[in-house]
Every structure is written in structure tokens, then in C-alpha cells.
Structure 1
């Protein structure tokens, strides 16, 4: 039986269908459930906030007590849970991301992770420590992600920042916009290109992006799902879904939920 993944997600009707599309393409297909984390009452419209306001908002949304409260919204307890939001997990730093996962694991009694921790797991699996960032964020927030990676020994050799208005705006991006961002971010010294945003619809582009750039392109959807499956003790392989799901992907030694 395939594991059931529970994803905590920040905004309804954004990129959930991209996660579902990826899980359907795996063999066996993966059961998926979502629960939603409420934005703070004082935040208002995210697309109307300035850069500092957005950073504060996503940091607030990642408070461990809010995540555990939201996790009670799953229909049944999943086999593994992940906080499927890049910025809301990396803005608290590496220790903060681990605290989020530990709180969820203790609350639900199952393995737990987040998109940011999933990026670190993917980079370790592929033995990558130099990356380029195809960031949809403001440059200040992109720098926070680079700092998070640096805490784990990963160097950002190049980054571009699209400074998109909101995750809902990003959910409407088409394949050309995503591809253009990844191409602009690539650098000869980068071993992989990271696309850290779970609202983007990247599943149809996984193989195409890697063919175009000639290196792993790690999208937020792909790393989140692969990491969750690893933590649940299952790692389906499937051609056409990029390096992370290829048969030759290196598996690192097993580790704790952090």
C-alpha cells in the first residue's frame, strides 16, 4: 500500500493541483490530503504588503503552534506530513525549520518535514553544494533563502528574483514564465537550479527544464513529495519526472526528521 501524504498549505486553490498531478504520475500513485494554515488576522492582502511586510507575514504563518493547529484539519492522520511552503519554512532559519517539523511530528505521531528541509534532503541525495536560485521572491527574501542554504553548507553562486506579488499570482504563471526564470537563474558554476515556490505548476516541466539546462532543476513540488515519500519509507521512481525520481538518484544515509 502506498503512503498517504498530508500537506499543510498556505493558500487554498493555488498549487494543490500540481502536487496532485505529480502524485498521480508516480507508480504506485500516492494518496494526498491537504490542510490549510490560516494567515494572521492582521496580515490583510499579501499582494499589498511591501517586501518587509511579506517577510514578516510568512514568518508569522510558520509559527509551530499555528502549524499543529492546522494539522488537526486532516480528515485522518496521514503517514507523513510536510509543511508545503518554501518561504514560510526558511524564514525561521535552519533551527526554526527543524522546530516546525519536530512540532508536527510530535503532534501527529508521524514523520514530518517541510519544503525547505526537503530542499536540503534533495541536495544531500544528489551530492550538490553549489546552486543557482530561480526565485519568485523579492531580492531580500531570496537572500534569506540563500542564508538558510548557507547554514547547511550550500553555496548560492547566482540568483534571480522575480518579486512576484503573491502566491495566487504565481499559480497563474505559465510554463514559459517558469522556464524563462530558470534559464535566467542558471550559472556555469551551479550544480543544480532551485525553483522554491509551491504555488508554481512545475510538474509538466520537470523533464523539459532539466533537458534545457543540462542539470537537475529542483522544484518545490518535486522536492516536497520526494522527501515526504523518503520519510514514509517509500521512494517511487518514474521516468520523465526529473532527476529526483530517476532510478540513478543517489540515496543518502537515513537521518532524523530534521
Structure 2
């Protein structure tokens, strides 16, 4: 059995994780069970730089690692995009290293997951459909650029809190991704783990005619990557239809 632990801020769209566990467990039992426990840490859910820096602090993530310890995870992921990219590339690397030290296992974050996922499916030019305010969305663009991913267009829905993002309907999620495509983009990125997206990936990709990478999708994939537990799951999009 492979266990990947996720540190998730507050509550919004964490039900994407048991859904993913169900989908992953149904692929091939010969490959072994996948468990995706989620531990919650709490702070403000405001999409603003000072609050995000606090949310992703070493102390808060160490708390999350402690909550996950009872599950004996094989890897731990900080399941928060804005709470990782807000530190910049080097700061986010330090953040992941500190989390790995606290957890005693390999660690990463959703921001790095986006870069690694884009590399895995061979895309370098993307559109970003963000729920964040514009200043926060711009920091994600800068992070992607540091990872070699060019953003051709970025939208900002100007939603101030994760709780509000979590109330978006499936139709609103699909519309956000589809409306903010760019004709020259090789994929569309939807970067908020507070947004439920796993059930909408297939529809979005069908409407776009190209891959979509969403925050909870890439976060789960990153955990699998760290543990060498790649799975092929057609309903989870183009990312889960490639190995390695």
C-alpha cells in the first residue's frame, strides 16, 4: 500500500481527495492500494500575500506533518498553490525541504506539481484561469516562468477567499477554464486547491480540445510521482493518461 499525505488549508474542496482515492484504487489492484489522507491546518483563507505567507510558514506545515504522522505517509504534499508560489521559486523549494525534514519523507507542493505536470505532458506555453485577485495571480505567473513555463494569458476572477471559491458550481468551474483559454496555449491551468475540479476535468478537456491541469489533480499526481506510483485514470485528464 502507498500512502500519500496532504496538508490542506482550512476546508473548501478537500472532497476531491477521497474521490481521487476511489478512482485510483479502481485502476489495477495488482499495483497496490493508494491511500490519500488529508490533514487540515487553519489560518485565514484570504488570498492576500501576508496571509498566504503565514499560512505556508514552516511552523504551520510542521503542524500538518505531525497530524499526518499517524498515517505513516510515504510522501507529503502541501496542497496549496498560493501558499507555496507566494514564496517564489527558491522560497518554495526551501518550504518543501523544511516540510520533508519535518515529515521525514519526500515532500513537495502544488506549485511545483504544476511545473512537473506541464513537463510530463510536454507543454511549455499555457493559459492560466485563476480565481485569485490579480496581484496574487501574477505571482503564480512568475513562479511558472521560473520553472520554464510561459504564460500566454492570465485571468483573475478576483475571489478574495478560498471558502468562496469552494462554493463555485461545476458549471462555473467549467466556464472559468473554457472562457480563459488562449488559442496558442498548449494547456489551461486552473490553480486553486479550494476549487472542486476532478469531476469536471473530462468536460473541460472535451470543450477545450487540449489538456487542463487543475490544482487538486496535479497535487495528487505529484504525490504519486514522488512515490513512483504512477496510475492511468482516463477520467482524470491527459495528465493521468501518461506514464512517468
Question: Normalization by structure 2: what TM-score?
Answer: 0.92
Where 1:240 maps in the other structure, the secondary structure is helix
Deviation at 1:77, TM superposition (A): 2.5
Deviation at 1:206, TM superposition (A): 1.1
Q: Which runs of 4+ in 1 moved over 4 A?
A: none
Task: Name the counterpart of 1:56.
Answer: 50
Contact 2:16 2:197 in 1 (8 A): yes
The number of aligned residues is 237
Task: Name the counterpart of 2:138.
Answer: 143
- Structure 2 gaps of 5+ residues are none
Task: Name the counterpart of 2:5.
Answer: 6
Matches within 5 A, 1:25-44: 25-26=23-24, 27=27, 28=29, 30-39=34-43
Task: Name the counterpart of 2:150.
Answer: 155
Cα RMSD (Å):
1.5
Matches within 5 A, 1:28-177: 28=29, 30-39=34-43, 46=46, 54-74=48-68, 75-177=70-172
More helix by share: 2
Deviation digits for residues 11-66 of structure 1, max 9, x if unmatched? 13x11111211221112552121222232xxx5x73xxxx7xx2210122111232
* Residue of 194, 201, 204 corresponding to 1:199: 194
Deviation digits for residues 196-254 of structure 1, max 9, x if unmatched? 011111111111111110111000011000110010110111122200111xx263xxx
Deviation digits for residues 105-162 of structure 1, max 9, x if unmatched? 1122211110001001101111211110010001111111001111112111011111
- Structure 1 gaps of 5+ residues are 252-258
Question: Normalization by structure 1: what TM-score?
Answer: 0.88
Provide closer, same or farther for how the CA distance between residues 82 and 20 of structure 1 changes in structure 2, counting only shifts above 3 A.
same
